[in-house]
A and B are shown apart, each in its own frame.
Chain A
């Protein structure tokens, strides 16, 4: 292949070629706005976040406590059975110390973010969230954490009703 092909196709452009208009081009910015219906399970989940609680669904067939909650079990492929409240404490399963914001722009103070498995749900079931009240040197996998809720009047029925997960002081339980 390398021998037989004399010229590999493709005309490389620099960022300047594009941004300074050295080649002809057309620009477009779509304006796409959405309202996603939260549906049965997520509507309840969001309502309970506003109440300062985490809620899950149980599946009587596989005996799992499913979190985030859903109305059907993807494994047994049947409707889930009951609502059940779970704790707002858990364990850091993994995390990242991010120096990039959502648009890949650099930020000086890193975001601590990761997956926390929630106490009361089936093992390894959890959610992504921020971590706070700890330094990037202190955060570690296996650390016990607890949700830090926004004050009642600031809650909107959103995952952001939890400000972040902070260190859990076990003896204070």
Chain B
């Protein structure tokens, strides 16, 4: 397998509603990524698109619809989709293209336009449930998170204050992000704890918002990077992905075993035997505040039940020993499902190439891990990147 580097990244503003069509958002993000890598569309061999269910945008065959905005016109082009896990998974699909030797330079473009769905994308989230077992109960997607969060809190005796700290940290971290939808420099733990109860234990400020947005990265082979004398690059040193059963009522929700398996695959490839020591910072998927903690444990960066303690002790702050979601994450920057690649893979690239500006981790970092999660609480995708 060949070495694969990320050499450019771009993203649009993340907002509840953008005027741009999905194609137009893709174009903006893609153009920015190409410009940052110093390439044009002609330099690109193949294109990968990542985007969540068609029902959000309200366009069937969304991958085909978006292709010209993704730079895929008359090129080998594939859309991939693994639920929320697409946020990191599409970059893994891009990695295959280059690592295998099939392509030298590849675009990966992720998009979501959730504002099309009226009055709230929630109504189509209901369609992910099993039509016979779950949907007759008229479930709301937040129930999934509420039930998983409650189980996690119960097993480890986690307090809501410690979970709220994640929301506070990420919304504050997002203040330095030019695309952020919900940055808040003054938010406190009490604000989170006093926000409206949606589906206990989930309160309004425990949740990331639905958003419109797109993000893009450029991947290239080691050869290509050397030939083109590209300076800003970060290597994708490990990739892993894993899925559990859709029979989600058959497993203990307190620990995401599938994330751990994905992480182990990625760490093995990246030659990481002691993740807590060898990984300098992390961008785990944080659509809800507790998910960051849940995923830190799944990523083996904290022992089971230890992530809330690390958070309370400040270890996961941007200037802590293990900065977590220095981008501001989904909680602060926004959650256009697949397009969260911008805060995950994009942030790893920007941090590792010292381009993160106000968000730059103050100490030197060499290795980061990004992870996304999705489907019916069952999918984990993990990428390790190194400078």
Digit string of B114-148 for contact with A (CB within 8 Å is 1, else 0)?
01000110110010000111101111101100111
Q: Is the CB of B122 within 8 A of A103?
A: yes
B350 close to A (CB within 8 Å): yes
Which residue in B150, B178, B196 is a CB contact (below 8 Å) of A94? B150
B325 at interface by CB-CB < 8 Å = no
B197 touches A2 (CB 8 A): no
Which B10-27 residues have C-beta < 8 A from chain A? 11-20, 25
1/0 per residue, CB under 8 A from B, across A11-54: the answer is 11111011000010000101000101010001000100000000
Within 8 A of A (CB), among B173-194: 176, 178-179
**Complex formed: what's the CA distance from A115 to B377 in Å?**
14
Report chain B residues within 8 Å CB of A2: 176, 178, 355-359
Min distance, Cβ B135 to any Cβ of chain A, angstroms:
9
Whether A126 touches B132, Cβ cut-off 8 Å, given contacts A10-B12, A113-B137, is no
Given contacts A2-B176, A46-B132, A8 and B17 within 8 Å (CB-CB): no
Chain B residues, CB < 8 A from A28: 58
**Residue pair B12, A8 in contact (C-beta under 8 Å):** yes
B249 near A103 with CB under 8 A, answer: no
B contact patch SS:
mixed
Is B355 touching A13 in the complex (CB atoms < 8 A)?
no
- A98 and B143 contact, CB distance less than 8 A: yes
Q: Residues of A contacting B25 with CB < 8 Å?
A: 9-10
Cβ of B102 within 8 Å of any chain A Cβ, yes or no, is no
The number of residues on chain A lying at the interface, defined by a beta carbon within 8 Å of a beta carbon of chain B, is 56
B268 within 8 A of A: no
Cβ-defined contact, B139 with A159, below 8 A:
no
Identity of the chain B residue whose Cβ is nearest the Cβ of A112 in the assembled complex: B200
Given A94-B154, A96-B150, decide whether A159 and B132 contact each other with a Cβ distance below 8 A. Answer: yes
Q: Which single residue of chain A is at the shortest CB-CB distance from B150?
A: A94
B250 at the interface (CB under 8 A from A): yes
Contact A18 B17 (CB under 8 A): yes
Contact: B18 with A1, CB < 8 Å? no
Q: Quick check: is B387 within 8 A (CB to CB) of the other chain?
A: no
From 123 to 141 in chain A, residues with beta carbon under 8 angstroms from any chain B beta carbon are 124-130, 136, 141
- The docked-state distance in angstroms from the alpha carbon of A74 to that of B246 is 10
Let me know if B230 is at the binding interface, CB within 8 A.
Answer: no
A5 touches B137 (CB 8 A): no
Q: Is B253 an interface residue (CB 8 A)?
A: yes
**Which B-chain residue is minimally distant from A161 (CB atoms)?**
B136
- What residues of chain A lie closer than 8 Å to B15, measured between beta carbons? 10, 12-13
Closest partner residue, chain B, to A67 (CB atom): B250
Given contacts A5-B178, A93-B151, A104-B122, contact A160 B146 (CB under 8 A): no
Contacts of A12 in B (CB 8 A): 13, 15, 17-19
A101 and B138 contacting across the interface, CB-CB below 8 Å: yes
Chain B residue nearest in CB terms to A14: B17
Residues of A within 8 A of B133 (CB): 42, 68, 127-128, 159
CB of B251 within 8 Å of the partner chain: yes
* Inter-chain contacts of A9 with B (CB < 8 A): 12-13, 20, 25, 28-29, 32
Taking the complex as formed, is A100 at the interface, i.e. its CB lies under 8 A from any CB of chain B?
yes
B265 interface hit (Cβ, 8 Å): no
A71 to chain B, nearest CB (A): 13
B202 A96 Cβ-Cβ under 8 A? yes
**Inter-chain contacts of B179 with A (CB < 8 A):** 8, 10
Q: Are B249 and A126 in contact, with the CB atoms below 8 A? A: yes
Docked pose: A129 CA to B247 CA in angstroms: 14
- Inter-chain contact B247/A74, CB cutoff 8 Å: yes
Does A158 interact with chain B (Cβ within 8 Å)? yes
Give the distance to chain B from A34, nearest Cβ to Cβ, in Å: 7
- Report chain A residues within 8 Å CB of B138: 101-102
Closest Cβ neighbor of A64 among chain B residues: B250
Q: In residues 284-343 of chain B, which contact A (Cβ within 8 Å)?
A: none
Known: A98-B199, A115-B249. A5 touches B132 (CB 8 A): no
Q: Are B136 and A99 in contact (CB under 8 A)?
A: no
When the two chains form their complex, are residues A103 and B120 in contact, meaning their CB atoms are under 8 A apart? Answer: yes
Name the CB-closest residue of A to B358.
A2
**What is the CB-to-nearest-CB distance from B266 to chain A, in angstroms, rounded to a whole number?**
23
Residues of B within 8 A of A104 (CB): 120, 122-123, 140, 142
CA distance A129 to B17 in the complex (A): 35
Select from chain B the residue with minimum beta-carbon distance to A164: B137
Residues of B within 8 A of A129 (CB): 137
Confirm or deny: B245 has a beta carbon within 8 angstroms of a beta carbon on chain A.
yes
* Shortest CB distance A69–B (Å): 10
| Chain B neighbourhood of A5, CB < 8 A | 32, 178
Q: Which residues of B contact A34 (CB under 8 A)?
A: 131
Residues of A within 8 A of B178 (CB): 2, 5, 8
A63 within 8 A of B: no
B-chain residues with CB within 8 Å of residue A160 when the two chains form the complex: 136-137
- Chain A residue at minimal CB-CB distance from B122: A104
**In the complex, per-residue mask of B352-387: 1 if CB is within 8 Å of any chain A CB, else 0:** 000111110000000000000000000000000000
Ordered by A's residue number, 18 sampled pairs between the chains whose C-beta atoms are within 8 Å are: A2-B178, A10-B28, A14-B17, A30-B58, A36-B131, A46-B132, A74-B245, A94-B154, A95-B147, A96-B147, A96-B202, A103-B120, A114-B147, A124-B250, A128-B133, A128-B134, A141-B150, A159-B132
